[in-house]
Homo-oligomer: A and B are copies of this chain.
């Protein structure tokens, strides 16, 4: 059974202390779908680009068994563009420009055949758009949701409405603190869980991730990265690996969600090793499996 991914698709300029790249493929949908594509398929994406969108990007996505029927290509319009520069401390970046272009009036239209999708991941877009997507679906069974500080600050009420309907919320630690208005992450998780999501994943970057649910907590380690080349998309790659793995086996026990968190971490670790989506374009299942084993060796004791 397929997976539906809705979010942004864009073209990025990225500058790190090591190198820079322009006209690179970006957007939450892209990273999520690519990371998920190693676990399940076909993956249907819904998004919008302009007619300047590089055909090589389309070809690459299709080669990953990603169904682009829901990709609106607006003639005479430009794709969403974003530019940023990372500091020496890669946890900090400056936005250089944000040109919304076609994304400004994005109206997600779910293709007929995808309306029956039972498994959907809502990438980081406005909560009203996430709500709009959900309203087009016929009886979705499992909904994974991402968001960010921007939406928590500006559209908290709309976001909370969406949260009532989702099964898993994936956010980072600062977003969890902001959403709950509580500095202690364990307390914050309880407050957010009461907003609706049965499971909550809090990503902590170089410190790993926490999974909350079933009155249990799972602490996942971070992969020890000596050379982070480009942190862009790591959170989306995590969400893609997590959701793709769950979509494959549809086992929603806490034990299997723990494995999904590790597969999410695995995909994020591959993502940051190269520029843009390149770290997610040419992986083998053996590489992914071996890194999963490395995560286990990293954190096991008896």
- Which chain B residue has the least Cβ–Cβ distance from A297? B216
Decide: B301 and A259 in contact? CB cutoff 8 A: yes
How far does the alpha carbon of A298 sit from the alpha carbon of B215 in the complex, in Å? 12
Task: Give the contact stretch, choosing among A68-76, A104-112, A203-211.
Answer: A203-211
Kindly list chain B residues whose C-beta atoms are within 8 Å of the C-beta of A282.
none
How far does the alpha carbon of A262 sit from the alpha carbon of B259 in the complex, in Å? 22
Kindly list chain B residues whose C-beta atoms are within 8 Å of the C-beta of A57.
none
Task: Give the contact stretch, choosing among A41-49, A123-131, A218-226, A241-249.
Answer: A218-226
**Is A186 in contact with chain B by the CB < 8 A criterion?**
yes
- Of the candidates B224, B226, B296, which one forms a contact with A301 in the assembled complex, judged by CB atoms under 8 Å apart? B296
Decide: A186 and B225 in contact? CB cutoff 8 A: yes
Decide: B219 and A301 in contact? CB cutoff 8 A: no
Decide: A298 and B258 in contact? CB cutoff 8 A: no
How far does the alpha carbon of A255 sit from the alpha carbon of B302 in the complex, in Å? 8
A interface majority secondary structure: mixed
Kindly list chain B residues whose C-beta atoms are within 8 Å of the C-beta of A218.
298-299, 301
Kindly list chain B residues whose C-beta atoms are within 8 Å of the C-beta of A183.
88-89
Smallest CB separation, A226 vs chain B (Å): 5
How far does the alpha carbon of A262 sit from the alpha carbon of B219 in the complex, in Å? 14
Interface size class of A (residues with CB under 8 A): 35 or more
**Is A195 in contact with chain B by the CB < 8 A criterion?**
no
How far does the alpha carbon of A224 sit from the alpha carbon of B190 in the complex, in Å? 12
Decide: B298 and A302 in contact? CB cutoff 8 A: no
- Which chain B residue has the least Cβ–Cβ distance from A227? B184
How far does the alpha carbon of A226 sit from the alpha carbon of B258 in the complex, in Å? 21
Contact A186-B226, Cβ < 8 Å, known A207-B208, A219-B208: yes
Decide: A221 and B301 in contact? CB cutoff 8 A: no
Kindly list chain B residues whose C-beta atoms are within 8 Å of the C-beta of A299.
218-221, 299-300
Kindly list chain B residues whose C-beta atoms are within 8 Å of the C-beta of A216.
297
- Of the candidates B210, B228, B301, which one forms a contact with A258 in the assembled complex, judged by CB atoms under 8 Å apart? B301
Kindly list chain B residues whose C-beta atoms are within 8 Å of the C-beta of A187.
226
Known interface pairs A89-B183, A217-B224; 6 further A-B residue pairs with C-beta atoms within 8 A, sorted by A's residue number:
A208-B221, A218-B298, A218-B301, A221-B221, A261-B301, A296-B302
- Can you list 21 pairs linking A and B with CB atoms under 8 Å apart? A184-B226, A185-B206, A186-B226, A187-B226, A207-B207, A207-B208, A210-B224, A216-B297, A218-B298, A218-B301, A219-B221, A219-B222, A219-B298, A220-B299, A255-B301, A255-B302, A258-B301, A296-B301, A299-B299, A299-B300, A300-B300
Q: List residues of A whose CB falls within 8 A of some B CB.
A: 88-89, 183-187, 204, 206-208, 210, 216-222, 224-226, 228, 255, 258-259, 261-262, 296-302
